Amino acid sequence: MVFGRVMGWLLIGLAVIMASADAVLALGPTEYAGIITADVVTLLAGHAPDTAEAGRSLIDNIQAMVMDTPAWIAVGLMGVSLSMACRKRQRVRRYAQIHR
């Protein structure tokens, strides 16, 4: 659980850094070309994700939509969901509540 929380916070921090880099790119003098998730996947995997246009299923459409979003959104959502899933939860003492 601690590992999941730490990784979640690291992903949130990475998303903040990616968002600030995206803002710097947007304010630059050249044409704005943001960092999309497909670029990050290409850097990590070594090859571009498959995006076949003909005969797409619902899963392929969702994957294409996620790959077209800014990278900081995808990484930030992964970080928030991981830190929420691995958060500390208070134990419920049912026996003590019933017999008071």
Q: Which residue has the higher pLDDT, 98 or 5?
A: 5
What pLDDT is stored for residue 55 in this prediction?
65
DSSP 3-state assignment of 36?
strand
pTM of the complete model: 0.75
What pLDDT is stored for residue 53 in this prediction?
63
8 has pLDDT over 90: yes
93 has pLDDT over 80: no
Residues 44, 50, 53, 59: is their CA dihedral positive or negative? negative
Phi, psi of 70, rounded to the nearest 5 degrees = -60, 145
